[in-house]
Structure 1
Amino acid sequence: MPFDLKSAASRLLTPTQRQLTGWWRRQSPSRQDRFATLGPLISVLLFLAAIIAAFWYLRNEEIERESEAVKRDTEIVQQQLRLRLSENQQQLTQIARDIVSRGIDTAEFRAQASSFARDRQELTQITWLNARRERRASVSGAGFQTDSQASDSGPDPSLPAVAANGQPNAAELAFQIVKEKRREHYSASFSDANNTAVFQLHVPVLDRNNFHGVLVAEYSVESLLRYYVPHEVSNRHAIAVIDARDQVLFSTVTQMPGQRFQRTPIFKELPLPSNNGLVLRGQGYRTSIGLISNTLFWMVVALSVLTVWMLLGTWKHMRRRMHIQSALINETNFRRAMENSMLTGMRAMDMDSRISYVNPAFCAMTGFSEAELIGRKPPFPYWPPDRYEENARLLQQEIQGRSPAGGAEVKVMRKDGTIFDARMYVSPLIDPKGKQTGWMTSMTNITEAKRVRDQLSASHERFTTVLEGLDAAVSVLSVQQSELLFANRSYRLWFGADPSGHAMLAGSQMAAESDEAVDDYSGLPAQHLTEIGSDPREVFVESLQMWFDVRARYLQWTDGRLAQMLIATDITARRHAEEQQALAAAKSQVTSRLMTMGEMASSVAHELNQPLTAITNYCNGMVSRVRDDNIRKEDLLTALEKTAKQAQRAGQIIHRIRNFVKRSEPQRQPSSATEIVEDAVELAGIELRRRNVAIHSYVAQRLPQLLVDPILIEQVLMNLLKNAAEAIDNAGLPTSRRHIELRVVPKHTPELGGHVEFSVTDMGPGLPDEVIERMYEAFFSTKSDGMGIGLGLCRSIVESHQGRIRAENLYNGAAIVGCRFAFTIPVDIPRPEPSGNALNTAATP
C-alpha cells in the first residue's frame, strides 16, 4: 500500500486547522495573493502599535530613572551638609571648652574664631555672648561684613532679643533652649541685617554645668548650597532649601524675575541635618517631549505608511528577484566553502595556482598579511626554502586531484622564520554550472597535537615504568574470556603469567559468574559495575605463606571488554606485627589488673582480716564452751552458721579478686550493666573505704544487653573509681566533698546513635588542661609512682568495643569543683527513652 504524505499530514491537524486549510485551498490564486498582502499590512500596524507602546514605556522609565537620580543626588547633598555641620559643631564645642578650661580672653577668641571661619565660607559670623546676652566678641566670616562695620541704626536680628510685639526672635528662642537644656541647638531660619536667609547654631559655654553664655555660629543658607552642593549634582538637578512655611530660601537654579518657584512633578524632599524645620528639596526635569510632539514618532508613522506602499508594489518586482537569486547562489556557494573550515586557515587558488583568497586565520598562522599573499604564485612565501621540491610535488598532486583523503602533513614557515607542523585538506571550488573554478585549501596547526601525542607516549612509558616498579601486584583480567590482560613485575614474580593467581586473589568477587554483568547486545560492561568499587580484603595465599591486602574494581578495557583490576599489597609483616601487638595488649590488660590489685593489697588484707578474725573468735568461743560443757545445741548451730557466713564472705572476696586478675582471652558476651557495676563497686569499695571516700551509684532500669567483655569493662570502671578516690584523698578534701558518683544511663545522639554512657564524677581538684591533652599518652602519669598505662589501656578497651571515652572538668563559675570521666558502649536504641526507677546504692565510709 503506497504511503500518502498529504493524507498523513492532514491526520496530524486539528479540526479547526483542517477547516482553514480547506478554505485556503478553495480560494483562487488572485484571492490568495490578496489575502497574503494583508499579512504584512497587519504586521506593519502591529509594529506601529508596538512603537507607540515602546514610547509610552520609555517615557515612564525615564520618569522613574529621573526620580531615582533626584533621590540619590538629594541624599548626597544631605550627607555633605551633615558632615560639614557636624564638623563645625565639634570645632565650636572645642572652642567653648577652651574658653572655660584655658580662660581665653576676647583677643584670643577672635584669633581662634577668625582662623576657624577663614576656610568656612558658609559662616557669616561667630559671636560670643555671656549669660546676660551681651556680646563679648564677634568675628565675621569670609566675605561678610565685620563687626566693626555693623550698623547700630536698629536692633540686630542675629542677637537674642524680644520683638516689639512681645515675641522673642529666633535667636532668643535658641538661646533660651540652650540655657535650659545645656546642649547645642540650631535656631529657626530668619533674615539677618543684610536680608540674607540664615540660621544659627548655639553652643553653650559651661563651667561645671554652670551656664556662662553661648557661642553663636551663623550659617548662610545661600553659602551652604553654593559651596557644599557638588558641582555635578547642581548641573543635573535643582537643589533648594525650603523653610517651614514652604518658602524657598535659596535654590541652585535662579528663577526669572516675576516668576514664582514652582514644584516640578519629579522632586525629593529630605530634612536639613540642622533639625530646625528646614527642608532640602531636589527637583528633576523631564528631558523628553510628549508623544504627539515627538518627531521620531511621526517618522515611524511615515515609515510605516511608506512600508505599506512598498508592500503593495512588491509584486511588480518578482522578475528582478529571480536575477538576484541567481547572483546570491554563486555568492552562497563561495561563502559556504569558507564557512566549512572557519576555525582553520583557509586559502583559495584559481586554476593557475594563484592565491585568490586567504582568511584571517591563515594570515595569523603564517604571519603574512593578506596583501602579501593575494596574487602570489608558487613558490609561496610560507614555503621553507629547504622544502621547495616537496611542496611543489604536493601542489601538483592537489591540482591533479590526487591529494590524500586524510590531508597532507607539511612544514610551514612563518614570516619570522619559525617552522610549525600543519595538515592541509584540499577541496575543489565548483560554480553553479558545475564547472571547477579553483581549489579551496584548509590548514590546521598540528604542532600542539604532535607535542601532546609525544607527551602521551612518554607518559605511557613512565606509567608502565611506575607499575613495573611497584612492590604491589597489579593485574587486569578479562571477565568474559578469563584472559590475563596485564600483569606487572611483582605479579609475575609471585604468580607468573598464570591468571589463576588473579582468581585466587579475587576470590568470590569475580563477576564472570554473573550473566547480568555483560550486555548481550553490545558486549559492553554493565554500567553499575564500572561505577562502583569493592571494599579492600585481606587474603592469605597458602602456597606463598603470605598475606595480601586486595583492592578490586571493574573497568572497561581499551577494546571495550569488561575487565577486573586487582592491586594486591603484601601485608605479611603487618599481620605479624598486629598479632604481636594483640598479645602485648592482652598482657597489658592482665598486668594492669595485677597492678591495681597490688595497690589494693593492704585494703584487701584488711577486708579479709575481718571475716577471718570473726571465724577465729567464733571457733575459740565454741571450743571454750564445749570444753566447759556449757553450750546448748541451738547456740552451737548459731555460732556455726555465723562462722560459715563469714567464711563464705571471705571466699566471695577471694573469688572476685581471682576472677578479676586471672589471665583469659577477651570474650564478648551479652552482659548486664547492673551486674558489671555491682562487681566493680564491690571490688572498688575496699579501696574507697580505706581512703574514707563514699560512692553513690545510679543505674537506669530496662537497659539493653551489652555485647562486651564484662571483665574488661569492670577493669575500666575500677581504674576510673580508683583514680577518683586517689585524687580526692591526695587533695585532703573535707568529708562533704569526699564522694564519687557513678551513673549508667542510655542515650541517643545523631553523632553516636544509641549507646549506654558510664560516667564517674568526683568532687576533686580536677585536671589541668595540659594533663587532659596528654593523659592518654603511653607512660605519661601525674603520680610519682605511676606507670602511665592505666588511662591509655582504658581508652584501648573502650575503643575496641566501638565506644568513646572523654574527660572534662566541672566548674562553678571560674573555679574547678570536680572532674568527670565518661565512656560509651554502643547499643541498639532507636530513640531516647525516659529512664525509670534506678538502682540506687550507697556505701559510706
Structure 2
Amino acid sequence: MQSSPNAPAKQAQIRDDTIAAPVRWWRSWWRSLSPTRQDRFAALAPLAAVLMFMAAITASFWYLRTEEVEREQDALRRDVEYAQQRVRLRLLERQEQLMRMARDIGTRDLKKVDFSARAEALISQYPELQSVTLVDDKRKVLESQSAPTVSTDQQHVLGETLGSGETGVAIQQAREMLQPIYVQQPASKGEMAPLLQLHVPILSNNRYVGELLGEFSVDSLLRYGTPTEIMARYAVTMLDSQGQVLAGTPLMPRKTPTELLRWRGVANEEKLAVAPVGNSLMLRAQAYRTSLGVVGSGLFWLVGTLSAMTAWMLLATWRHTRRRQRAQEALVAETNFRRAMENSVLTGMRALDLQGRITYVNAAFCQMTGWSEQDLVGQVPPYPYWPDNDYDNLHSQLREELSGKTIVGGFQVRVQRKNGTQFDARLYVSPLIDAHGQHTGWMSSMTDITEPNRIRAQLSASYERFTIVLEALDASVSVAPLGSAELLFANKLYRQWFGSQTDGHLQLVAQAGKLPIRHQPEMEDEDGLMGLPTATLTAARANNAEIFLPDLGKWLEVRSRYLSWVDGRLAQMVIATDITQRRLAEDQAAAQAEKAQAASRLITMGEMASSVAHELNQPLTAISNYSSGMLTRLEKGTLTPEQMKFALEKTAHQAQRAGQIIQRIRSFVKKSEPNRTLAQVSDMVNEAIELAGIELRRRNVQLSAHVAERLPRVMADTILIEQVLINLMKNSAESIDYSDRPTGQRRVELRVRPQLFEGQNGVEFSVEDTGKGMPPEVLEHLFEAFFSTKSEGMGIGLNLCRSIVESHHGRMRAENLYNGSEVTGCRFSFWLPLATGVETTTPTETSEPT
C-alpha cells in the first residue's frame, strides 16, 4: 500500500495546529481580562518563578547538607563506640583485679597486713582508681586506702558504717546477688568530684562475709580511658542518668551570627552507655564544627545573585503598576481617612445652612440623640431632639446662633433622645466656610456633659461636708505656704482665736519650734514629711508641742504637718487643741504626788523613829559620860589641861554628830519643790546609806556598797532619789528580818555602775537582799498603787518609787535571785539617764561595807 505524497505535509499542519491552539486560547483569555487583573497576574508570574527557583535551590541545599551530616554522624558513631569499648575494657581490667583481691581475702590468702600494700600499689598504678575499702558483713569499714587526690570528706574512716543513699542500696544488692555491682555516686557536698563505685562481694565457703569497695574517679576514667585522637576530635563528656555532666567540658551553644546562618537541623552528638555500669553512666561525644557552611560556598553567592536579578525584574514590573494605581489609591486613602475620622470621633457634629436646615450629622451625633441620619438631615426647627418644654429657649439660642452671636466657651442645652430620655450637652458653634471662602452655614459640635455635671455636684457636696466637719472641730486648723504670709485655709475656731490673718499660724509655729519635743516617733527611719524632699524645707519641725498663749490664756497642744497644696506649693498645716483643763489636771496630780512623796518620807521616818532615837542616844550618852568624868576629876583635883582638852574635843565631836543626824532627818522629811540639779551619784548614795544604815543596824543586817569610781553626774532631785534608795534598802532589811535568816546570811548589797539602756547612757542602782524573794503573782502587781505584801503596809512606797524614777525618765524593775531552782533573794534596780552632754567613764568599783 503506497502512501500519499501529501501525507507529511498534512502531519506537519496538524502538529502546528496542535501547538497554535493553546497559544490562541492564551491570547484570547489574556485580552479578555481587565487592565487591573492583567497587572495582578503580571506581578504574580515573576513571583511564582522566584518561589519555584528558591524551592529548587533549597531542596539542593537540603540534600547536600543531609549527606554531609550523615557522614559526620557515622564517623562520630564509630569513634564513640571505639571509645566506649576502651573505657569498658579498662573498667573490666580493674574489676578483675579487685575480684582477685576479694577472692584472696575470702580464702585468707591475703592478710590485712598485706591489704594496704596491695591496695596502695593498685591506686598508684591506675590513676582512675581513687580508693579501695574493705567492709565487713555489718557494713563497717575495716581497712581503706585512698589516693592523695581524694578529699577528706570523701575518705572512709575506720569503723564507719556504710548504709546511706546509693551506697547502702548497692551493698544490699551485692549481698543478695553475690555479684559485682556498679553504682554511680554523684557529688553531694560543695565541690566534691563524682565517683563510680564497684561493690565486689567477698565469699568464704560460699558465704557472704563482706565486700571490697572500689571507687573510680569519673574524670580520670574519661581522661585515661578515652583515646587521645578522639579527645582531640570531639568534646567528650561523662553524663549521669539525668543528663548532668560528671566529667569533661561540653560544647557551648553557638551564638555568633555566622554560625546562626548555618543549618542547625541535624544533631552533632552521640551518646552510649558505659558497660558494665549501665545507663547510670553515659559517654557522650560532640563533634566540633569545622565546615565553613553554606555562607562560604560559591553556590550560595550564585543563588543570591540570581535572586537579586529576579527581584530587580519584579521591581520594574511593580513600578509600572504603581504608576497607574497611584492616583486611585490616593483618592481612596483620603476618603477612607476622612470617613474613619468621622466615625471614630466621640463628639457629635452637626452642620446647618444659613436658614437653619440640618445638612449633615455624624455617627456620634446620631448615637447621642438616638435618631438616624435620614431622620435628621433636612429637618428645620423645631428639631426632633428638642425637649417639648424648652422650645422657646432653644429657638432663642438658635436665632442668636444664626445671627453670628456665638459664645466662645459654648453653652449648655438639654437634649432629648428618641426614647424620651434627656441628657445635658454643651454646644460649640463656629462658621462653616467652603473651599471658595464663602460662608455657607454653621458647624456645631456637641458633647455629653451629664457625667461631669454629676461628678461636679458630688464634689460640691463633698466639699460642703468637709467644710462642715472642719468648722465643727474643737481644734484650730490652719494651712499656710512656707515662706509666705498667705493663709490658705482656716476653720471657725482659728478665726475666733486669731482672726483671718496668718499671725496666729506663724505664732503657733514659732512658739512650738522653741520648745523641746515631748514625743518622738518610734520609727526613726519613717519620713515625717510624707516623702517630700527635705532639702527644700525651712527649720520648722513637723512635731507636737505644748505651748501657753498669754493673749488667749490657754494651753494649746500644737501639731504640725507638711503637705503639698492643690497648686503644688509646699504648705504647713497646724492643728492647735485647747488642753488647758488637762494641764490643770496634770498640775493637780503633780501636787498630789508631791504630797504623797512627803507623806511617804514621814511614814518612813516614823517607822525609823526608834532606830533614830537609838542612834541619837549614843552621842548624847557619850557627851554625858565625858561631862561626868571631867566633873569627877575636877572635884578630886586630878584633871590636867591635856585631859580636859581631849574630853572637850570628844564632847564637841559627839555633839556635832548628833546635830548632823538631826539635820539630815530634817532635810529628808522637809517638804520642798522638786529641784533637779546636776548631782553627784556618790553624794546621793552616801546620804542614803547614812540614813538607811540606822535601820539596817537595828535589824542586824550588813550593808555592802559598791560604787563605781568617776561616775558621771545625773540630772536629778537628790532628796527624791535618796528616798527611793532608802525605801529599797529598808524593804530589803525587812525581807531578811521576816525570812529569819541566820547572821551570816543577813546581807544587803548596793551596786552603782554606768549602764547602757536602750541605746542611751545612764547609771544603774541595784539593791540585792538574801530574803526569800517574792512569788510570781506578787511580782506582776508589785508596783501598783495600794498593793502591799505587809499586813500593816499602805501600798504606796514602791508605787511612789517607780513614779519618782519615771519622772526622771528612768526605768525600774524587780526580780528574784536563784541558785538553781531555789530562790536566794530579790533584786530591785532602777536606771537614770545621764545629764545632756555628760560622757561616760570606765567603771571601777570600790567597796564600802557598813
Please report the TM-score for the alignment, with normalisation by the length of structure 2: 0.53
What CA deviation, in whole Å up to 9, does each residue of 1:90-141 have, x standing for no partner? xxxxxxxxxxxxxxxxxxxxxxxxxxxxxxxxxxxxxxxxxxxxxxxxxxxx
Deviates more, 1:435-444 or 1:571-580: 435-444
Q: Which stretch shifts more, 572-581 or 349-358?
A: 349-358
Measured at CA, do residues 456 and 635 of structure 1 come closer, stay the same or move farther in structure 2, by a change above 3 Å? same
Which piece of structure 1 moves more, 561-570 or 707-716? 561-570
Other structure's SS at 2:408 match = coil
Distance 2:242 2:495 in 1: 96
Out of 358, 363, 382, the residue aligned to residue 358 of structure 1 is: 363
Q: 2:347–2:446: 8 Å Cα contact kept in structure 1? A: yes
Write out per-residue CA displacement over residues 688-730 of structure 1, whole angstroms, 9 at most, x where no aligned residue: 2223322222222222333322111111211222222233333
- C-alpha separation between the residues in 2 aligned to 1:468 and 1:713? 49
User: What SS does the corresponding residue of 2:623 show, helix, strand or coil?
Assistant: helix
Structure 1 counterpart of 2:614, one-letter code: H
- CA apart distance, 1:505: 6.0
Query: Do the aligned residues in 2 keep the contact of 1:720 with 1:760 (CA within 8 Å)?
Result: yes
1:62-461 alignment, distance < 5 Å? 323=327, 327=331, 330=334, 334=338, 344-345=346-347, 353=358, 357-358=362-363, 366=368, 377=377, 383=385, 386=388, 389=391, 404-411=407-414, 419-425=422-428, 444-461=447-464
Cα distance in 2 for partners of 1:531, 1:328 equals 68
Query: Does the CA contact (< 8 Å) of 2:370 and 2:419 recur in 1?
Result: no
The secondary structure found in structure 1 opposite 2:624 is helix
Contact 1:755 1:824 in 2 (8 A): yes
In structure 2, distance between residues paired with 1:527 and 1:419:
52
- 1:638–1:510: structure 2 CA closer, same or farther, 3 Å change rule? closer
Q: Structure 1, residues 566-586: CA drift from partner, whole Å, max 9, x if none?
A: 655433323332332222222
3-state SS of 1:729 partner: helix
CA distance in 2, matches of 1:832, 1:311: 92
Aligned residue type for 1:711: I
What SS class does the counterpart of residue 754 from structure 1 fall into?
A: strand
Find the aligned partners of 2:172 and 2:567 in 1 and give their Cα distance.
96
Q: Secondary structure at the match of 1:696?
A: strand
**2:705 is the alignment partner of 1:697:** yes
Distance 2:177 2:663 in 1: 90
- 2:617 aligned residue (609, 617, 620): 609
The answer as to 2:679 corresponding to 1:671 is yes
Partner residue in 2 for 1:727: 735
Take 2:797 and 2:577, find their aligned partners in 1: how far apart are those partners?
36
Q: Is the 8 A contact 1:354 1:375 kept in 2?
A: no
- Distance 1:412-1:736 versus aligned 2 partners, 3 A rule: farther
Match of 1:119 in 2: none
Return closer, same or farther for 1:831/1:560 CA change in 2, 3 Å cut-off. Answer: closer
CA–CA distance in 2 between the matches of 1:718 and 1:588?
16
Q: For the structure 1 residues 787 and 297, does the alpha-carbon distance in structure 2 shift closer, same or farther, using more than 3 Å as the test?
A: farther
Report the AA paired with residue 767 of structure 2. Answer: V
One of 547, 551, 570 as aligned partner of 1:538? 547
- Asked if residue 717 in structure 1 is aligned to residue 721 in structure 2, the reply is no
Whether the 8 Å contact between 2:487 and 2:502 is mirrored in structure 1 is no
Separation in 1, partners of 2:653, 2:539: 73
CA distance in 2, matches of 1:477, 1:348: 49
Q: Tell me if structure 2 keeps the 8 A contact 1:742–1:761.
A: yes
Aligned match for 2:827, one of 816, 819, 823: 819
**Aligned partners of 2:170 and 2:182 also within 8 Å:** no
Deviation at 1:678, TM superposition (A): 0.7
- Does 2:580 align with 1:572? yes
Is the 8 Å Cα contact of residues 178 and 185 (structure 1) preserved in structure 2? no
Match of 1:756 in 2: 763
Contact 1:478 1:563 survives alignment (8 Å): yes
Hey, what's the Cα distance between the residues in 1 that align with 2:387 and 2:285? 76
Structure 1 residue 368 displacement after superposition: 6.6
Paired residues of 2:512 and 2:546 also in contact (CA < 8 A): no
| Residues in 1 aligned to 2:173 and 2:564: alpha-carbon distance in whole angstroms | 94
Identity %: 44
Structure 2 SS opposite 1:687: helix
Q: CA deviation at 1:334?
A: 3.3
Q: 1:643: how far off?
A: 2.9
Secondary structure, counterpart of 1:761 in structure 2: strand
Give the superposition deviation at 1:541.
3.3
Matched-pair contact (CA < 8 Å) for 1:468–1:488: yes
CA distance in 1, matches of 2:612, 2:724: 19
Normalization by structure 1: what TM-score?
Answer: 0.54
Match of 2:753 among 734, 741, 745: 745
Please identify, of 467-476 and 697-706, the stretch whose mean Cα deviation from structure 2 is larger: 467-476
Q: Secondary structure at the match of 1:802?
A: coil
Q: Per-residue displacement from partner, 1:492-514 (whole Å, max 9, x unpaired)?
A: 6667x686994896596699xxx
Q: CA deviation at 1:737?
A: 4.4
Question: Counterpart in 2 of 1:254?
Answer: none
Cα distance 1:653–1:177, how it changes in 2: closer, same or farther (>3 A)?
same
- Cα distance, 1:460–1:763 mapped onto 2, change above 3 Å: same
Identify the residue that residue 647 of structure 1 maps to in structure 2.
Answer: 655
Structure-2 residue corresponding to 1:583: 591
**Contact 1:425-1:443 at 8 Å conserved across structures:** yes
Deviations 1:525-575 (A, max 9, x none): x97469965754523435x65444456789999999999976554333233
How has the CA–CA distance of structure 1 residues 399 and 326 changed in structure 2, closer, same or farther, with 3 Å as cutoff?
farther
Q: Count residues in correspondence.
A: 582
Conserved 8 A contact 2:713-2:838: no
CA contact (8 A) 2:713 2:834 kept: no
Q: Deviations over 1:637-696 (max 9, x none)?
A: 333333332222222211211111111122222221111111111111112222332222
Q: Which 5+ residue runs of structure 1 have no aligned equivalent?
A: 1-173, 190-210, 212-238, 243-262, 285-289, 512-525
The answer for the alignment partner of 1:797 in structure 2 is 804
Change (3 A) 1:789 1:282: farther
For residues 310 and 500 of structure 1, the distance between their equivalents in structure 2, rounded to whole angstroms, comes to 82
2:99 maps to none
1:788 aligns with 2:795: yes
Q: CA contact under 8 A between 1:590 and 1:662: conserved in structure 2?
A: yes
User: Kindly tell me: are residues 304 and 740 of structure 1, through their superposed partners in 2, closer, same or farther at Cα, counting changes over 3 Å?
Assistant: farther
Q: What amino acid is the match of 1:759?
A: S
| 2:691 match | 683
Match of 2:781 in 1: 774
Contact between 1:551 and 1:568, CA under 8 Å: does it hold in 2?
Answer: yes
Change (3 A) 1:303 1:277: closer
**Could you list the per-position Cα deviations for residues 260-295 of structure 1 after superposition, in whole angstroms to 9, with x for gaps in the alignment?**
xxx976799999xxx9985699999xxxxx989xxx
Which amino acid counterpart does residue 615 of structure 2 have in structure 1? E
5+ long unaligned stretches in structure 2: 1-167, 184-207, 209-239, 244-265, 287-292, 514-534
**Aligned mates of 1:530, 1:419 — CA distance in 2:** 58
Paired residues of 2:712 and 2:834 also in contact (CA < 8 A) = no
Q: Residue 604 of structure 1: CA displacement?
A: 1.8
Please name the residue that 1:167 is paired with: none
Whichever of the two has the greater Rg, that structure is 2
